[in-house]
Chain A
Amino acid sequence: MTRPVRPFYIWVARLAVGGLFLAACLSKIHDPQAFALVVYRYRLLPDILINIMAILLPWMECVTALAVLFATARWRAAGSFLIGGMLLVFTLAISLNLIRGIEISCGCFSTRADVAVSDGWNLFRNVALIWLSTVVFLDAFRRMQAQAEERPS
């Protein structure tokens, strides 16, 4: 049985989601102290969790991005599911700060100080990425199911 050819847009979605998350983790891994300050400035986490978040989050972004870009359907599904979850949390955090009037840069792709302050564009971009990660997840999930059906019982 031949597998269906994957539509072009799935590749684009994988490249966009995986590529952006891979790009996003680089500056955070490079300078964890600057990223901890970014996390602190959100004023959403208790102090005790700020550094732990700054240590773990960039690697969560890195590992899930690699899974979406290069792994088999099972790991791709898990990676895109986790990326969708992270994006939901990021979107909620940025929204809360916009509502509270806290003017900080989102720290999404850079920990530098000269990055523009978060605004509605960040929310729009995140919603678009959530949609793309859902597309990647559904494709990977369907492939997992197809592979399971192909296996001899």
Chain B
Amino acid sequence: MASCAILLLIAGGTGLVVNALRPASSRLPWANDWSRHIEAKAFQAGIPVTFLMGVRESLLDEDIVVLDARPYEKFMEGHLPGAWSLPIGEVGERIGDYVHLLAAETPLLLYCDGADCSDSLELAIELRGYGFSDVTLYPGGYEEWQAYGGDIVSGGMP
């Protein structure tokens, strides 16, 4: 037992020293406010999230509609394959088209820029308010998809 405690002390001490010596950009603070994290907000709102591998599978599923919550200019520069544009600021004007085109139970996958943007979460909450029941959030968003090297499509909607 004493040996176990010594190993744990060595490990803990090394971890703390190495973390303290890291450059500020990569140093981990003792605690983060994780409640402000986009995934925590989605969890609190009862909106399921999916991650990169889940998105890869979703893009192969023709039943799932992918919605890009970023401004239309960003969508035109590049978006996930098959995605439709529905900027959070234009939901009021354009939701009529989507309600007309999509059944309420259509599975929707939403994304925006990345982990620091909340547009897709706000859109998810709004869409649920309009009766869409199967809404999933991709918190990694366009930035993670691009960093992963996933296919990017530029130009208008399919």
Contacts and interface: CB of A to CB of B under 8 A. Distances in A.
A76 B31 CA distance: 33
A75 B3 contact: yes
B7 A82 contact: yes
Nearest to A67: B7
Contacts of B4: 78, 81-82
Contact of B34 (A47, A52, A64, A115): A47
Range of interface residues on chain B? 20 to 34
Contacts of A43: 43
A5 interface: no
Interface string A64-79: 1001000000110111
A51 interface: yes
Contacts, number: 92
Given A40-B34, A105-B53, A51 B11 contact: no
Given A60-B8, A117-B53, 8 more contacts: A47-B31, A47-B32, A51-B31, A54-B28, A62-B11, A78-B3, A113-B140, A114-B53
Interface of A: 29, 31-33, 36, 40-41, 43, 47-48, 50-52, 54-56, 58-60, 62-64, 67, 74-75, 77-79, 81-82, 103-105, 113-117
Interface of B: 3-4, 6-8, 10-12, 14-16, 18-19, 22, 26, 28-35, 37, 39, 43, 50-54, 140, 144, 148
